[in-house]
Structure 1
Amino acid sequence: VLVIANTVKQAVELYGRIKEKTEKVRVFHSMYIQKHRAIIEKELLAFDENEQATGIWVTTQLVEASIDIDFDVLFTEAATLDSLCQRFGRCYRRRQYKKTVPNIFIYTVEPSGTGYIYDKEILERSITLLKSFSGEILPESEKVKLVSELYKRDNLKGTEFLKKFDGALEQLNTFDDYTLSNKDAQRLLRDIQAELVIPCDVYDNHSCLFEQLEQADKEKRTELRRQITKLTVSLRKTAARGRTRKLPHKGKKQNGEEYDLLPWIQILDLKYEFNEVSKTGAGVLLDQEIDNQI
């Protein structure tokens, strides 16, 4: 069984509630350090390849297009049609569905992420377009037609979505080729600036790597930086704001002047959960801050 939530917070909450009922549940989202994310993805693919395996995987849209999996049943929060069609593709992906009962269930009441991950009007229109297929087979050809219908300009007249799109397009058209800066592009299209962070307990358990980096030669520094990067997670700046601090480590130039080591990495003062033996855990716990004060 595959369960897809719109936000990491909702996925973790669902995982916790399902775990109260069964141990055969796993969770996968973007809030794991790179090292653990690779472990979980490998576990998910192994589960998918084992035809005798049974269980529940709770995920986010992380699995929509990047991971080739084929589940039997899908429970998903409502999202925009293009995103939902990607989710449908994680169910009976490599087989023909021959049953007459539905194996995809869409939950439309107060889906998480509405208004900031998915445009509210587009999401509501998506639900309306899908209602006529309730209890019916939805062929691939119909999916394409529905998405085209959803984003048809005539059908979007008067919506905030179209106003924002046209406004950004108009501004982009005023720039000559290659003159639009990265900062301007993010502002005009979508501000998804991220912060590279290392959860504080992960940092505490691997602080020796940073201490070694302070003294390492050039060749050793490259290997240490690679190891440290595997301990990081990319977090939206809005989620990281007020919850991060600088690394305390310094390097020295040949003239003796000190400089900050790895200034692009911050320590994240949020709890982190993952057991490398059982290969389970909820990752960064977005609602559980750690008090730095002594």
Structure 2
Amino acid sequence: MRAMRIHGYGGPDVIVADEVPRPVPGDGELLVRVAATAFNPSEVGLRRGLLREVLPIGFPYTLGWDVSGTVVSAGAGFAAGNPVVGRLDAGGAAADYVVAPAGALVGLPPGVPVAAAAALPVAGLTAMQAVADLRAGQRVLVNGAGGAVGWFAVQLAKRAGAHVVATASARTAATVARSGADEIIDHTTTPLDGVGADVLLHLAPAAAPVGAVRPGGAIVSATGPVVAPPSVRSTHFVVAADPRRLAELVALVAAGELRIEIAATRPLTDLPAVHQDAEGDRLRGKVLLVPA
């Protein structure tokens, strides 16, 4: 089978399609035939070695944290052919098959497309954690609403009863509008200082618009610590794998209360080009990689 692996840190060209034996599951593990994995911008940092202090890996390393697919053989409460989705902290999803801890996987009910479900684990869980403390009636600014995390965050914030102001550029405005934001601001042309947000959800790699938050408000950042005035509470989090919450996201999708939007679906072997496009700022939204 094929596995998209790196044998050392470097540029996109270090990602190669290797032929490797199909993995064999051990106790508490399942073999999954991969329907799709999803690209996450943080994987660029992993591939370049920028995350080695917080996420050490061994080589060769198979990329891919998000996985959706079908169980190959029964075990741990799953039957052969069951569609599943999960987040694999050890990677390995960018392959034809992957072995996954059964506890990391969530079954997919009818109505949830198997391949598209791969967009949920990292991006959806990040968004869910970002909005965890929102209250109905709050004015919430989602900075980075044009990305996959922002897409989910807008929907989840609306579901929590917030009034959602979302940032977008001309390239992402149409996508952000489909997410259901109450207001959309082109952050490339309009200052954000007057937004008066109760909460800023900072989901973009650029500098946080601290001035958009009113005194007494809060900043919740998924991209790094944000220095804020003493009158503004600032917190930073690193999303954790949480199968229970992933199951909640899947249920929302199945009920039609949360939409998945896929920007592009590309062959698994396009992964080096996807990384190159990401470094060149040519990607918007969630990109799926699918085995042939």
Q: Tell whether the structures are fold-level matches, with TM greater than 0.5.
A: no
Q: Which has the larger radius of gyration?
A: 1
Task: Pick the structure with more strand per residue.
Answer: 2
Q: TM-score, normalised by structure 2?
A: 0.26
Task: Pick the structure with more helix per residue.
Answer: 1
